[in-house]
Amino acid sequence: MNRPTEYRPNAIALTIAGSDPSGGAGLQADLKTFQQFGVYGASVVTMITAQNSLGVRRVENLPTDLVLDQLDAVLDDFQPVVAKTGALGTAETIDAIHQAAQRFNFPLIVDPVMVSKHGDSLVSDDAVAAYRRLLPKAFLVTPNRFELEKLTGIALNTNQDVAKAIHDLHQMGARFVLAKMGHIDGQSEHILGSGKENIAIQSKQFDTQNTHGAGCVLSSVITALIALGETDLKRIIQRAIRQVSISIHNTQAIGKGRGPVETRVLANEPDELTS
Ligand code: PLP
């Protein structure tokens, strides 16, 4: 990614997400990523977590009306080009975002965050059904393997299972689906579903445990590129996947556990990615 020489004046992106005080994931990762792309970031906080690279110690969901008041305050004043959701916490808050999204005149990217990389739950049990209700408002939904199984109720054992699950998300109303399938045969695999076709996108798998925030950064790069006016979703997603590979490669082992991916722009791209 090139360092932006100036901010694009009207490139405003909104994240509706949880706070990660370690700065690796959640709204902190989103805002850092927006900033790196020269995109102005606004943020509505849904939950406060107490966590570090070793694990999540506490999760406190903010009252839904406080989430909505933040959203109203931002939208009464600013015109985002695009918004994304991260960890939303409760079914009540997801339903409230769904209700509010009826009047969004910009695309919404739904990253259906359910658990942290340590396996700690970040949503209540009834959130899955609420996420299904939100899908008709999603321009793009970005589930990982676990979230795809939860949202569809399909155990993903074969490629056919994955195709059926992606199909089901389209049926539930999501315009585009980006399934983050994880590591397959030494590669990291993503599948972009348009409703008409599924395109597999492979990227290099790096041998590191420092992947905290990778999902947040992926959906934030996509959001930032849309805020910058890019419209070719396949190219946007290819670029975002590549950017996350660079972020994972450049991770600096901050902390004692699963460290965050690198959100700063570093000069060196890994040789393995330049071909
Ligand atoms: N949002 C918050 C507030 C989190 O704490 C986490 C993970 O800990 C996430 C989102 C998802 O992080 P990742 O991008 O690693 O999936």
The string of DSSP letters for 75-109 reads HTT---SEEEE----SHHHHHHHHHHHTT--S-EE
Is 80 a pocket residue for ligand 1 (Cβ < 6 Å)?
no
Q: Is the pLDDT at 5 greater than 80, yes or no?
A: no
Q: Is the pLDDT at 262 greater than 50, yes or no?
A: yes
> Residue 121 has what DSSP assignment?
B
Is 117 a pocket residue for ligand 1 (Cβ < 6 Å)?
yes
Element holding 45 (H helix, E strand)? strand 40-52
Domain 12-265 class, CATH top level: alpha beta
Hey, is 29 helix, strand or coil?
A: helix
pLDDT band with cut points at 50, 70 and 90 for residue 273: low
Q: Report d(CA 164, CA 161) in Å as an integer.
A: 5
Centre of ligand 1 to C-alpha 116, Å, is: 5
pTM, two decimal places: 0.94
Question: Which residues, 6+ apart, have CB-to-CB distance to 254 below 8 Å?
Answer: 24, 53, 210, 260
Q: What is the pLDDT of residues 199-209, one digit of tens each?
A: 999 998 888 88
Neighbour count for residue 218 (Cβ, 10 Å): 25
Query: What average pLDDT does the segment 114-142 reach?
Result: 91
pLDDT at position 275: 38
Least confident of 175-184, 223-232, 249-258: 249-258
Share of the chain above pLDDT 70, in %: 94
Share of the chain above pLDDT 90, in %: 80
pLDDT at position 221: 97
pLDDT band with cut points at 50, 70 and 90 for residue 157: very high
**Which residue's C-alpha comes closest to atom 4 of ligand 1?**
26
pLDDT band with cut points at 50, 70 and 90 for residue 159: very high
pLDDT at position 14: 98
Element holding 178 (H helix, E strand)? strand 176-184
Is 49 a pocket residue for ligand 1 (Cβ < 6 Å)?
yes
Domain boundaries, the chain: 12-265
- Which residues does residue 108 pair with via DSSP β-bridges, in sequence order? 83
Query: What average pLDDT does the segment 22-36 reach?
Result: 96
Q: What is the pLDDT of residues 52-86, one digit of tens each?
A: 999 999 999 999 999 999 999 999 999 999 999 99
**Which residue's C-alpha comes closest to atom 13 of ligand 1?**
213
Q: Is the pLDDT at 261 greater than 50, yes or no?
A: yes
Query: What average pLDDT does the segment 140-165 reach?
Result: 96
**β-strand pairing of 55-61 with 82-85:** unpaired
Q: Is the pLDDT at 274 greater than 50, yes or no?
A: no
Is 214 a pocket residue for ligand 1 (Cβ < 6 Å)?
yes
